[in-house]
Structure 1
Amino acid sequence: MKVTEAHNKRVAEMKFFSVYPHYVTKVEKKGRTIAELHEVINWLTGFDDEKIQELIDRKVTFETFFNEATLHPNAHLIKGVICGYRIEEIHNELTRKARYLDKLIEELARGRKMEKILRKEKS
């Protein structure tokens, strides 16, 4: 699928606090924990549990969420299809970051090992 400007705007305006409970449900339904979910979010964004809760309480948009994040240097290693979009083909930086998060959470829910989810450069 092709990412449109309308789609990019919708992603930017989505509220993190409204999506977060869906992340929790998705991973817990598959036997994973909130601690593992937070580990994935921390790896991608640099946010600790306290900061995640603060962002939820502030009801920030995904645009603010990722503007405050320090993206992991290996985030570019996240590839594949999520929500019908090939991550490598998403040119809008914010939408690509949101899809990185979606992809990591999907992998967590599917039971992928944490060391695989938290990408490392190949030597």
Structure 2
Amino acid sequence: MKASNEHHERIAKMTFASVYPHYLNKVESKGRTKDELIEVIEWLTGFDEQKIQAFILEKVTFETFFQQAQINPNASLIKGVICGYRIEEIENTLTKQVRYLDKLVDELAKGKKMEKILRSA
């Protein structure tokens, strides 16, 4: 499935604050914690909880969020399909990074062990 430029632009302009509550609801409804969600986001981006909260308050876009991130070197190990797109085939860097985050949240909600989610085992 090939994403359009409009799709990439829509993702870039979405605010992290608008999506974060959905991530939190998804993981908590499956018995995971906010701390685990923060750990996953921090692993991918390098942002601690304080920085994540600042981004939420500032209503930064995903574009700004990921421009400031230090993407984990092991992020390229995140593979599979999320939202109908195979992550390894996404060419747009920002869209790929957002889908990395979506996939990690999905894995957390599905009950995967943290070592597997963080690609350390």
Give TM-score, length-normalised by structure 2.
0.98
1:100 is aligned to 100
Unaligned runs of 5+ in 2: none
Structure 2 CA distance for aligned equivalents of residues 96 and 20 of structure 1 = 17
What amino acid is the match of 2:61? T
Is 1:83 aligned to residue 80 of structure 2? no
How many residue pairs match? The answer is: 121
CA deviation string 1:45-67 (max 9, x = no partner): 00000000000011000000000
Structure 2 CA distance for aligned equivalents of residues 79 and 6 of structure 1 = 24
Deviation at residue 41 of structure 1 after TM alignment: 0.1
Is 1:49 aligned to residue 49 of structure 2? yes
Deviation at residue 2 of structure 1 after TM alignment: 1.1
SS of the residue aligned with 1:74?
helix
What amino acid is the match of 1:42? E
CA deviation string 1:37-91 (max 9, x = no partner): 0000000000000000000011000000000100001000000000000000000
Q: Percent identity?
A: 67
Query: Structure 2 matches for 1:1-123, cutoff 5 A?
Result: 1-120=1-120
Unaligned runs of 5+ in 1: none
Structure 2 CA distance for aligned equivalents of residues 11 and 102 of structure 1 = 12
